[in-house]
Amino acid sequence: MAEAKPQLQPVATADANGGGFGGFFQLGRPKLRVTSEYNSESSVFLHKASCKLLDNLAKFKLSFRNNSKGQVSEPQITFTSKFFSLHYDVEENDALLKTWFEIVPGFQFKATQQVKAQQGEVAMVADLAGPAYKFELSSTLPSIGMPRATFKFPLGEVSLEEKDEEEEEHKRTLSMSGILRSHILNGVCTAQYNEEKLDLRYAFKDEQMTFIPSISLPSNAFSCAFKRRFNSADKLSYCYYFDSNNWSVVYKHMVAKDYKLKAGYDSQVRLGWASVWVGDEKGKAKTAPMKMKVQLMLQIPQDDIKSSALMFHVKKRWDI
């Protein structure tokens, strides 16, 4: 008997004028993605349902929570397209509107509006000497004072804006904030300044070791993080805070690509713990086996071992 010839599925194609309307009517039913999460610590389910519309030109998402009694809370609706997004909070009867588009090549407009609070922000972004250099002017709505000016470049960004003095309500001063990054001695040095606070951080990393000292000025809060990779499966992380003498340690062991064992201790909360991960810890449920991520965690308080607790977190995705 001759083997049955597979049938080709119709696809969306552009019409003779390149408009694509002929293919638009051949689009099938949009795929629905449903994701459910449960955390035993809060005993609350989180459900999300989303689908892409108009050949991926827009996305619609519905999310809500429900407890063990079936009570629904925090229902929210989100609609996102290429130039516009709407986030609607059903309980608060409030909406967050965002829009962004390119006026001319290299010149963009962005706007945000919180409907209930009647507050928002508008911004103009211009490319300078290529996309790596940008200049942005942004202002809150209703407008108070001069707009904030931000200059972005490959090594970071710098912002200037007016702010009210706490002691004098009607006096406004010019405030500066920014972040700078630079490669020094096979590592990355980062300096971040905001509200008269300077955070300095240096990160050195190679195939086996990561060393990250950091200090905050003027508080002189100094900390140091150290990570050591023994092989492709085992890794040890340690962090010490010199201003408080607190420290934490975490040991990770990869059983396979989607299976991980972790154990650690945090001196600040005096808590030891151990957990098992099924599915990539930082990845999405789509890439996990059976599109499901599971975490089992045992927490052991140092001061009260009898109150140890076993918790679990499950995330499952269905494509309909």
Mean pLDDT of 152-164: 91
> Rounded CA gap, 64 and 106, in Å?
39
Model confidence at 2: pLDDT above 80: no
**Model pLDDT, residue 280:** 79
CA dist 312 → 41, 191, 270 (Å): 8, 38, 21
> Rounded CA gap, 142 and 28, in Å?
45
What's the per-residue H, E or C state across 81-105? ECCEEEEEECCCCEEEEEEEEEEEC
Per-residue buried b or exposed e for 184-195, using 16+ beta carbons within 10 Å of the residue's own CB: eeeeeeeebbee
**In which band, very low, low, confident or very high, does the pLDDT at 165 lie, cut at 50, 70 and 90?**
low
Cβ distance 1 to 275 under 8 Å?
no
> Rounded CA gap, 246 and 134, in Å?
41
Model confidence at 20: pLDDT above 80: no
> Rounded CA gap, 50 and 30, in Å?
10
**How many CB atoms neighbour CB 271 within 10 A?**
16
| AA identity, residue 154 | P
> Rounded CA gap, 81 and 101, in Å?
11
Judged by DSSP in three states, 24 sits in helix
CA dist 255 → 261, 280, 290 (Å): 7, 12, 18
> Rounded CA gap, 251 and 254, in Å?
10
Judged by DSSP in three states, 305 sits in helix
Mean pLDDT computed over every residue of the chain: 87
Q: Which of 265, 285, 267 has its CA nearest to residue 275?
A: 265
Mean pLDDT of 21-25: 42
Q: Which of 123, 82, 126 has its CA nearest to residue 104?
A: 126
Cβ distance 34 to 316 under 8 Å?
no
* DSSP label of 148: E
**Model pLDDT, residue 28:** 57
The runs of H, that is alpha helices, within the chain are 21-24
**Model pLDDT, residue 18:** 43
> Rounded CA gap, 290 and 283, in Å?
14
Mean pLDDT of 235-250: 96
Mean pLDDT of 160-178: 77
Query: pTM (2 decimals)?
Result: 0.75
Per-residue buried b or exposed e for 202-213, using 16+ beta carbons within 10 Å of the residue's own CB: beeeeeeebebe
**Model pLDDT, residue 50:** 95
Question: Which residues fall within 8 angstroms of residue 111, CB to CB, at 6 or more apart?
Answer: 97, 98, 99, 100, 120, 121, 122, 123
DSSP labels, 230-296: -SSSEEEEEEEETTTTEEEEEEEEEEETTEEEEEEEETTTTEEEEEEEES-SSS-GGGSGGGEEEEE
Pick the residue with more confidence: 309 or 144?
Answer: 309
Question: Which residues fall within 8 angstroms of residue 284, CB to CB, at 6 or more apart?
Answer: 317
